[in-house]
Amino acid sequence: MGKEAKPRVHPCPHCLTKFPSPSHRDAHARAVHEKWRDYKCPHCSSLFAAKSNMVVHCRVVHERRRDHQCPHCSSRFGTAGNMRTHIKTVHEKVRAHACIYCPEDVAFGEMGSLNRHINTVHLKMRDHVCPYCEGVAFGTKSTLTRHLDMVHLEQREHKCRYCPGVAFQTKQNLKRHIKTVHKKRRDHACQYCPGVAFGEKGHLKTHINLVHLKLREHACPYCPGVAYQTKAHLKTHIETVHEKRRDHACPHCPSAFGRKSDLKTHIQAVHEKRRDHTCGY
């Protein structure tokens, strides 16, 4: 028999997360709230609180390894933990962590997802600070990353010598861009479409899954029967529908939106009074 899991009785003084020991709690506080980052990635500017996290980051992000195959579908993952989460929430439909603040039946498959929901939606925590904008912070790292990509592109170190204004966070991404965009390398051919090839193996896989296999592998863990063709579309759905995130604030009024496209439509229709679509009848 496996070891029985220790009860999580040591709460973090900064958020609602509980841990099985004071050492786990203190490590969490240093990494998440005090922002200790002693280990730098040798390939990019990312910093980590633990060496083991840096090793996983290098393997998954830079080496692009996906060693963990889901036994139920074709999805592959960089870590065993991500695969287990996928199986539990997508295939087993386990959602044991209910939100105590939401009046409707909102529950999550992982305690971390519930904590993230509570911290960002209900407690309005913004722990992810932009290093360039004074006083600007976000509830999740992914939202901060989107902000950096959209607003601070010029701060990226690895600039393309062919494209004005195009730069990348890592040298590897720059090399991939030059190979596929400027040198037109298409090494990954589709076995079903004559003459169709892609610069990235992942793009070929996406093409086959969407066009030929008609797969919708990315099922919503909360909505029965709802699935998406890409992980990005599923992520947007969860953030806007279930986590109630409204990260795109209107600069002209108090309105906020879950998607940037909705914010753009709102500004054009409400504030700019644009009426671009004429009825044909």
Residue 174: inside a domain, yes or no? no
Q: Does 267 reside within a domain? A: yes
What integer pLDDT is reported at residue 1 of this predicted model? 45
Q: Specify the number of domains making up the chain.
A: 1
Domain that holds residue 266: 246-276
Residue 258: inside a domain, yes or no?
A: yes
Query: 264 lies in a domain?
Result: yes
Give yes or no for a contact between 149 and 138, defined as CB atoms under 8 angstroms apart. no
pLDDT tens for residues 216-248? 667 777 776 677 777 778 888 888 887 777 777
pLDDT at 182: 85
Asked if residue 211 is part of any domain, the answer here is no
Answer whether 62's CB lies under 8 Å from 175's CB. no
**Can you give the pLDDT at residue 275?**
76
Is residue 257, in this structure, part of any structural domain at all?
Answer: yes
The CA distance from 121 to 117, in Å, is: 6
pLDDT at residue 4, rounded to an integer: 60
Has residue 270 been placed in a domain? yes
The average pLDDT across 146-158 equals 68
**173-186 mean pLDDT:** 83
Instruction: Say which residue, 10 or 210, is predicted with more confidence.
Output: 10
pLDDT at 156: 65
**Tens of pLDDT, residues 28-49:** 887 778 777 778 888 877 788 7
Does the pLDDT at position 160 exceed 80?
Answer: yes
269 in a structural domain: yes
pLDDT at position 80 over 60: yes
Distance, CA of 236 to CA of 31 (rounded, Å): 26
